[in-house]
Amino acid sequence: MVKDVIHGVLIEELEGKVFSDKEVPSLCKSVAESITSKVKELGYERYKFCVNVLIGEQRGAGVQVGSRCLWDIDTDNYASDIFLNDSLFCVAAVFGIYSY
């Protein structure tokens, strides 16, 4: 469900966009805020969410993104998705941490 939300927001916010280094900071913030609000609407009680959005220019080079977390493997989890077009790429991840 969370992955579907991320995917939908990335398409909604980024489809047709052209990379602009001046717009990237506000675009990252906008995408992260949209993802956060839509994930909260799913009703996961007692969870706190950390949303990470990375946007870069498509120039033919590769990129690797990694994350490490210390968490409770029984309750905590994450979901991520990638958006690509001819001009930019975006990697978005949502980390859900259960609050006891």
CATH code at 79?
A: 3.30.1140.40
Answer yes or no: is pLDDT of 61 > 90.
no
Region 21-33: what's the mean pLDDT?
Answer: 97
Contact 28, 10 (CB under 8 A): no
Cβ atoms within 10 A of the Cβ of 47, count? 17
User: How far is residue 58's CA from residue 20's CA, in Å, rounded to a whole number?
Assistant: 11
**How many domains does the chain fold into?**
1
Domain that holds residue 90: 2-98
| Mean confidence (pLDDT) of the chain | 95
User: How far is residue 91's CA from residue 84's CA, in Å, rounded to a whole number?
Assistant: 9
pLDDT for 4 equals 98
Look up residue 89 and give its two tokens: 């790429």
Sign of CA pseudo-dihedral 21, 25, 19, 68:
positive
Angle between the N-to-C axes of helices 24-40 and 2-14, in degrees from 0 to 180, rounded to the nearest 10: 150
Answer yes or no: is pLDDT of 60 > 90.
no
- The 10s digit of each residue's pLDDT in 65-83 is 889 889 999 999 999 999 9
